[in-house]
Structure 1
Amino acid sequence: MDATLKTVIAGEIVELPGTIAAIRARLDDDRADEFDRDIEHVPAAELPTALVRWALAGTNADKEDEELFERLARDEDIGATDAGTPGAEVA
């Protein structure tokens, strides 16, 4: 069984392919060719981010993010809470 990544999209837990081969296998031929050209030039430190971006391709997660950022730009309350100051001790 290939490794998977999990995320939440539209309130639902979604499993995404978690290997380079599995990500590529989910792409149509044109996107797979683009993936091949892109992924071999990604710096090692940026590889996890690039793989997640490709794994999310076609999931509508980008649409959900776009809508969220539009709401934020309009200063709407999106229900986010302050995660606190990094490194701050909890009493």
Structure 2
Amino acid sequence: MDATLKTVVAGRLVELPGTIAAIRATMDTELAAEFDREIEHLPAADLPAALVRWALAGTGAIEEDDALFERLARGEDIGATEAAAPGSEVA
């Protein structure tokens, strides 16, 4: 079984490629070259976030997040609730 990443985009579960090779295989030649240039020079600590960003490309997740952050910046109530501290109960 190939490794996958799972997330929710636009309310539906999406499975994303979960290896460097699988992420790269989804790209055309030009995009793959850009991916290679970036990934080869990233510090190891930055690699997980970059791989997720590349895996999410084309899913609409980035645009969905951007729209949400724009709403938040305008001060719009989006129905979010504060996360409870680990080990505490939510009132």
Report the TM-score, using the length of structure 1 for normalisation.
Answer: 0.91
Other structure's SS at 1:48 match = helix
Q: Which residue of the partner structure matches residue 73 of structure 2?
A: 73
Counterpart residue type for residue 32 of structure 2: A
Shift of 1:35: 0.5
SS of equivalent to 1:84:
coil
User: d(CA) in 2 for partners of 1:89 and 1:81?
Assistant: 15
Q: Give every structure 1 segment of 4 or more consecutive aligned residues whose post-TM-superposition deviation is greater than 3 Å.
A: 87-91
Shift of 1:28: 1.1
Helix, strand or coil: the match of 2:13?
strand
Partner AA of 2:88 in structure 1: E
1:36 pairs with 2:36: yes
Q: Unmatched 5+ residue regions in structure 1?
A: none
State the distance in 1 between where 2:63 and 2:25 align. Answer: 23
Q: How many percent identity over aligned positions?
A: 70
Q: CA deviation at 1:89?
A: 3.4
Summarize deviations over 1:23-82 as a string: whole Å, max 9, x none.
000011110000011101111111110100110111111110111011101111111111
Partner of residue 89, structure 1 = 88
Gaps of 5+ in 2: none
Displacement, 1:88?
4.9
Equivalent residue of 1:39, what SS? helix
Give the residue type in structure 2 aligned to 1:25: A
Matched residue of 1:37: which SS? helix
RMSD: 1.4
**CA distance in structure 1 between the aligned counterparts of 2:75 and 2:7, rounded to whole angstroms:** 26
